[in-house]
Structures are given as structure tokens and as C-alpha cells.
Amino acid sequence: MAQAKYPMPAELKNEARLDPAKYQEMYNQSIADPDTFWSQHGKRITWFTPYGQVKNTQFDKDNVKIEWFRDGTLNACYNCVDRHLPERADKTAIIWEGDDVDEQKHITYRELHEQVTRFANGLKKLGVKKGHRVAIYMPMVPEAAYAMLACARLGAIHSVIFGGFSPNAIADRVNDCEAKVIITANEGRRGGKGVPLKANVDKAVAKGACPTVDNVVVFKHTDTQGDWNDDLDVWWHELIGDCDTDCPAEVMFAEDPLFILYTSGSTGTPKGVLHSTGGYMVYVSMTHEYVFDIREDDIYWCAADVGWITGHSYIVYGPLANGTTTLMFEGVPTYPDETRIAKIIDKHKVNILYTAPTAIRALMAKGDAAARGTKRDSLRILGSVGEPINPEAWEWYHSVIGNSQCPIMDTFWQTETGGIMISPLPAASDMKPGAAMTPFFGVRPALVDNEGNHLEGASSGNLVILDSWPGQARTLWGDHERFEQTYFSTYDGVYFTGDGARIDEDGDLWITGRVDDVLNVSGHRLGTAEIESALVAHEAVAEAAVVGFPHDLKGQGIYVYVTVVDGVDTSDELRAELIKWVRQELSPIATPDHIQWAPGLPKTRSGKIMRRILRKIAANEHESLGDTSTLADPSVVESLIDNRLNK
């Protein structure tokens, strides 16, 4: 056995949807006959016109095509809102917990319908139509979900931009998808402080920098007054003032786009990952129900941000499609103090908590204080997402937050996968701290070596997926070739995740982290290339190379090597200025932890930076640099080691 297993609690075993035999039977069917399996499970969604076709997919690197339920028609908003009205109109759809401990709201499905339809009619007044793109840059308030659902209702494609991004990053994303409208709030609140959302949008669109934007809709969340531009800006409350709730949901084909979400890759600018409507809705609602063993009266809390895929699939679309009560939290786990998460659990009697290892580690750093004065006895299931969870954090989450009663679903997936791919399932698989365990229905994971040879039995390698699943991204906005190139060309005929993984003696899967130049900093995905291009935009910087290094709290930290322009002095002031610069250009989440001055960077004779070596130096593992014989100038490495920070 690879590692001591934690069995699923007996109480769950008796009541859960699945047991090991049932899981195996369903999994086998989903692989042996995906058409029949998904034809049956696709019916969990309400279709305006039923589908006749189910799976139509090919992973041929020059001609990738992914279609599911092609001839069916539906509307995602209708599935999240209208279809619940007969049975669940008075049920709470969204519990909102504000940053301030005294602020909360309960929104029923009836109210959700009213808010979403009125806002959709407001967007119509601004000329928003099926196929238009709408950018959403919002704090964690219910209006963020209303905005997403209103777009879906009209068939407009939303592109949510994480509220932590800076003006340049907003402008890049808005311009790439040519958004017609930006929806924002005057201000967000996090940890007792204001987040200048509207001011950031103002800077992004200033001087005609976003020429496609006709309007900026501003939700008034706080009393702060900011600048106002009469040509563009519209208050949310004024826009919907005379709007009623009569707003039929647009009839969409299954493959019509639902949203774009930008995410970082190993090279170039962020990629506009595109998800379509039918397969995505089937997949997120089914994974949500099975992975969290959702029951009708559950209070379910995914503590992510709607700016990331986790928020899309498991705060908004999955739970609402299932008619679940979903909790949205505006604040941070440590404000006003480290007991906040535990207090919210008790206050709202949360049954399922789904959060990220970085939040767990931040609370764990305070010992058991995070649970002080709380019971957490409503909890039944815990979830983890976004990065590998180290066994110490797993054990702490299990024993302190979960009172040693709740199983942990360590869910592996990605922006591109739409929904959960690999995870334990309540009562169907036992748990091992740090292992993602078993594939979800329809998911065929495999490991390959660097040459693409398939590895059998217990082994470590690159994680690929052999066949399509309904929630898979269909393309990158405006660049299908890049989609094929990024995910399907490294290894022939399979989807490459960019992650490394291990299969143990029991056949269980462990995700070991990215094998490309994507960083995972506190669960935030960042491309080294983006940070480097922000740095070289500074006049003092000639060249920059960014690598990750192991960081106790963040998982990975950001280590930067900078070569300055001739004649520029390397000083602590310049270091501080560059850190500030990256925060402003890109985002505070991209703040470098270390900047090392590098008179030269290790390059191959063809001029390629050898990051493998830079990663080793950053991690202080320069005893094991590996082969340096292909370097153009091996002496560069010696000097970098000599000058390494914190030696």
C-alpha cells in the first residue's frame, strides 16, 4: 500500500449516492459507451429541444473538434433559475456573507429570477445581444452572479476578470475579446479595505484604450464617490429602474459559447479559454452533485472567487443548476481574525466547505486558533482545489476544521477542463492525504514519459487525458490553432494537462504540480512570461527571467532574475520600485518575493533561457544543477550562485 488510507465515514457510506461497486459500474459504462452514458445523464439539464447526437469529438492535433449534444437547445440561465421556480421559488438560492461580519443577505430563487431578468432587460437597453461579449469585473457580491446569469440569458458571452487584476490586465482581456460592455462596482471590500474597482476600469478604458466598450455599468456597493464619465458610465440601479421581469431566455444551441475565461499559459499573453453551453452545464451540475454528495437542504459553500473557474463552475453554474443553496463570501479568511471561516460555518450551518490549500495553510499557521469558540458540527464534506495539498495541511483541515468527521475531496481540475476531473467520491473511494485518487465518470487519465510513451502500472509522468468529456473547453477565443498547439501537440492524440502525476501501487492518482512554466502562487495561476513582459516594460530592465520556488504558505513563490540596462545602478530602491511596478502593471497576486540582479542569464547557444537551472538556484539546490554543458557561457551560472539571495 502506498499510504495509509482514511476510510469514508460509515454514516456517509449508508446514505451516499455511490458505493465502490456502483462507482465502478458507472465509471466502466462511461468509458465503454460514452454515448449511452452521457445520453442518459445529459437529461439532468432541461433542454428546450432534446439532443439526438451526443459525442462528436476528435483529438487530432491538426484538427481538434469537440462537440457534445450538438443538436440540442437550452439556456444556462433558465437551468439555474427558471426551472426551479415551480418547486423552489422560496428556497434560498444565494446566501451572501459580506466582508463586514454584520452584513448578510438571503436571496431566494424567486428573487434571483427577478434580479436576473431585470438586469438582462437593462443590458438589452444597452444593445447587448446574443454573441456579444461582456466583461465582468466585480467584487464577490450577488450582483456578480446576476450579471453572469443575465448574460447567459441573453446569449451574450461573459468574460469575468478577477477583481485583483490591474488596469493593463483588464484592458488586455477586454480588447482581446472585444467586449461591448464592462460591468463593475464602484468599490469592493476585502479585509476591511476598499478595492478601487471602478477606478481601475477608468484607467483601463482611459484615452480610448478599449475602443469596443460602449458602456460601463456600475453597481453601487459602497458610499464611495469616484470619477464619472457621462459618455460611458451607467449606474446599475438606474439602468434597471424601469425594467420588468419579462425577459424570455434565448434559445441556444449546445455548442453556442457560454463564457470566456482568461488564464495564464507557459508562453505569451493570457489565453481566452472558451466554454460552450450544453456539455458544460451537464458536466458541472453532475460533478457538483456527485463529488459533494449534494442533498436538497444542504448549505454549500465554495470559498473561491467568481473571477476564477472554480467560482464559475462551483459557486454559480453547478450549484444553481442543481437548485442548491450556494454561499458567497466577499471577504478573506483572516478578517477580522482567523476564526472567520469557522464562524461563517456555524452562523450559516454550512454542510459542505470547498476551499483552497493556500487558505488552509494560512489558517494552520495560527495553530488551532482558527477553530476557537466554534463547533463546525454542521459540516459533512470538505473539498480542496487549486494546488497540491500537502499532507500536513490535509491532516489539519481534516482534524481541526472537520472535527475528524468529514471526508476531504481533493479535486484536481483546470480552467480548461470546466469541471472536476480527478477526486475521491463520497463513499466510493477512501482517502489518502495529498492524493486526488480517482477519475470522474468519462475521464480517462494516463501518464506518459517525455517522449510520449504510455506508462503502465505504478509510475510517475506527465498527465494526459485520452478522450473528451462534456465540460472540456472547446477552443481559445479567436485562436483555435493555439488551442491545438497548446494542448494537443505535445503528445499525439491526447489532451496534455501541463501537470505531472504519479499513479501508486493501488492505482490511485497523485498530482505533483505543473511541469511547464506556469506558476501556482497561493492557488493563483500565473504565467512566467506575463510577469517577465511586465518587468521588461520598465525602462531600467534589459532582461528578466521568472521562476517559481517552494514557499511554505503560498505553495510557490515568485523568484525573479533581472538584468538591468547598461549604466543603471542595482539598488534596493530599484528592487522596491520593480516590485511596485509588477503589482501595478499586472496584479498584486504577481508580486515578486525575491529579485536577484543577474549580470547575465544562463542561455543555450541558440539563446533560450535555461529555466531548469534558474529554478535550481532559486530553490537553493545548486548542488544538483544537472547538465550545463550546452550553455553558451557556463560562467554565468557560477556568478548567479555566488550572488544568490539569502545565501
The residue ranges that bind ligand PRX (CB under 6 A) are 263, 308-310, 385-388, 410-415, 436, 497-499, 511, 513-514, 520, 525
Residue 417 CB, shortest distance to ligand PRX, in Å, is: 8
Give the separation between CA 105 and CA 627, rounded to whole angstroms.
59
Q: In the bound complex, what is the minimum distance in angstroms from residue 278's beta carbon to ligand PRX? A: 21
Q: Closest separation between CB of residue 252 and ligand PRX, Å?
A: 25
Helix (H, G, I), strand (E, B) or coil at 342: helix
381/579 with CB nearer ligand PRX = 381
Q: Please identify, using beta-carbon distances, which residue of 54 and 509 lies nearer to ligand PRX.
A: 509
3-class SS shares of the chain: helix, strand, coil, % to 5: 35, 25, 40
Choice between 20 and 513, CB closer to ligand PRX: 513
State the nearest-atom distance from the C-beta of 478 to ligand PRX, in Å: 19
| Residues whose CB falls within 8 Å of the CB of residue 437, separated by 6 or more in sequence, listed in order | 410, 422, 423, 424, 429, 431, 508, 509
Cβ(77)–Cβ(249) below 8 Å: yes
Residue 616 labeled ligand binder = no
Q: Binding site annotation covers 410? A: yes
Output the smallest distance, CB 383 to ligand PRX, in A: 9
* 583 assigned binding-site residue: yes
Tell the smallest beta-carbon distance from residue 359 to ligand PRX (Å).
13
The residue among 390 and 584 lying less far from ligand PRX, judged by its C-beta, is 390
Rounded-to-integer distance, Cα 420 and Cα 443, Å: 10
536 labelled as ligand-binding?
yes
Residue 388 is assigned to a ligand binding site: yes
**Cβ–Cβ < 8 Å for 465, 495:** yes
Cβ atoms of 187 and 222 closer than 8 Å: yes
We find the least distance from the C-beta atom of residue 308 to ligand PRX, in angstroms, to be 6
Q: Would you say 94 or 518 has its CB closer to ligand PRX?
A: 518
The cell for 476 is 481559445
User: What residues contact 637, with CB distance under 8 A and at least 6 apart?
Assistant: 602, 613, 617, 625, 628, 631
Instruction: Confirm or deny that 86 is annotated as ligand binding.
Output: no
Is 411 among the annotated ligand-binding positions?
yes
- Taking the least distance from each CB to ligand PRX, the nearer of 249 and 547 is 547
State how far the Cα of 390 lies from the Cα of 306, in Å rounded to an integer: 25
Side-chain-side CA neighbours of 630 within 13 Å: the count stands at 12
Residue type present at position 111 = E
The residue at minimum Cβ distance from ligand PRX is: 415
- Residue nearer to ligand PRX on the CB measure, 309 or 341: 309
- In 3D, which of 609, 612, 629, 630 has the Cα closest to residue 621? 612
> Taking a C-beta distance cutoff of 8 angstroms, is the pair 497, 446 a contact?
no
The response to whether 190 counts as a known ligand-binding position is: yes
Is there a binding annotation on residue 295? no
SS3 of residue 293 by DSSP? coil
Residue 499 annotated as binding site: yes
- 6 φ, ψ to 5°? -100, 120
Closest to ligand PRX by CB, 112 or 160: 160
Q: How far is the CB of 260 from ligand PRX (least distance, A)?
A: 14
Give the residue numbers of the binding site for ATP.
Answer: 386-388, 410-415, 499, 514, 525
Give the residue numbers of the binding site.
Answer: 190-193, 310, 386-388, 410-415, 499, 514, 522, 525, 536, 538, 541, 583
Give the residue numbers of the binding site for CoA.
Answer: 190-193, 310, 522, 583
Give the residue numbers of the binding site for Mg(2+).
Answer: 536, 538, 541
